[in-house]
């Protein structure tokens, strides 16, 4: 998610950050060093490409669309499942036949993992706030989240409240 929001064209353009420099790849690594230790360093182009391929999954308007788009990513990254063992522990692993798509494969796999536990794809969303297209995973009990963050939620509520008050004052 962090990758999509920081390197994706849609979130950056929507937030008018299109001309600002990207965060450094090291900042990504610093966020969860253990996870990223499995990956080679990524260049900016790979991060942007991956973000742009993942963003539409969150923007999908139906479960069908979400599934279709994930299937496209699986074939784009040429991913295939296999089984690996360590002593008696046998586990599912996924391989990618495209070394240049390792990051995409990792991101796709983490979405697949997420859907395994929470098949409701409507919980993957794009922020409805003005000037924001950041993505989020709705983990609220009711599943009615609309915003990426409290900041966006509050900003939008304030705006709605002001508009309402203006309308009331005019009538």
Q: Write out the two tokens for 52.
A: 């742009």
Residue 119 belongs to what H/E stretch? none
Q: Which of 10, 60, 73, 132 is in the footprint of Zn ion by CB under 5 A? A: 132
39 close to 106: Cβ distance less than 8 angstroms:
yes
Per DSSP, 85 falls in state: E
Q: Should residue 14 be labelled a site residue for Zn ion when binding is judged by CB under 5 A?
A: no
| 41 vs 143 by CB, closer to Zn ion | 143
Q: Which of 56, 43, 55, 22 is nearest to 100 (CA)?
A: 43
| 14 vs 49 by CB, closer to Zn ion | 14
Q: Should residue 53 be labelled a site residue for Zn ion when binding is judged by CB under 5 A?
A: no
Q: Should residue 148 be labelled a site residue for Zn ion when binding is judged by CB under 5 A?
A: yes
| 42 vs 136 by CB, closer to Zn ion | 136
Q: Which of 50, 54, 129, 135 is in the footprint of Zn ion by CB under 5 A? A: 129
Alpha helices in the chain (DSSP H): 2-7, 9-14, 25-31, 33-36, 44-59, 63-76, 102-117, 150-170
Q: Which of 30, 134, 146, 155 is in the footprint of Zn ion by CB under 5 A? A: 134
Q: Should residue 152 be labelled a site residue for Zn ion when binding is judged by CB under 5 A?
A: yes
Q: Should residue 127 be labelled a site residue for Zn ion when binding is judged by CB under 5 A?
A: yes
Q: Which residues form the interface with Zn ion (CB under 5 A)?
A: 127, 129, 132, 134, 148, 152
């Amino acid at each position: 998610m962090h990758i999509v929001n920081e390197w994706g064209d849609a979130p950056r353009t929507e937030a008018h950050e299109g001309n600002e420099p990207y965060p450094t790849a090291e900042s990504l690594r610093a966020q969860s060093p253990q996870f990223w230790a499995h990956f080679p360093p990524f260049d900016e182009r790979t991060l942007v490409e991956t973000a742009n391929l993942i963003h539409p999954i969150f923007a999908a308007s139906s479960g069908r669309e979400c599934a279709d788009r994930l299937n496209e990513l699986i074939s784009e990254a040429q991913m295939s499942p296999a089984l690996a063992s360590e002593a008696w522990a046998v586990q599912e692993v996924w391989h990618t036949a495209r070394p240049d798509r390792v990051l995409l494969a990792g991101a796709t796999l983490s979405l697949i993992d997420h859907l395994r536990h929470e098949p409701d794809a409507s919980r993957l969303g794009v922020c409805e706030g003005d000037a924001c297209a950041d993505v989020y995973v709705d983990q609220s009990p009711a599943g009615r989240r609309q915003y990426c963050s409290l900041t966006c939620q509050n900003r939008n509520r304030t705006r709605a409240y002001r508009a309402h008050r203006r309308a009331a004052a005019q009538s």
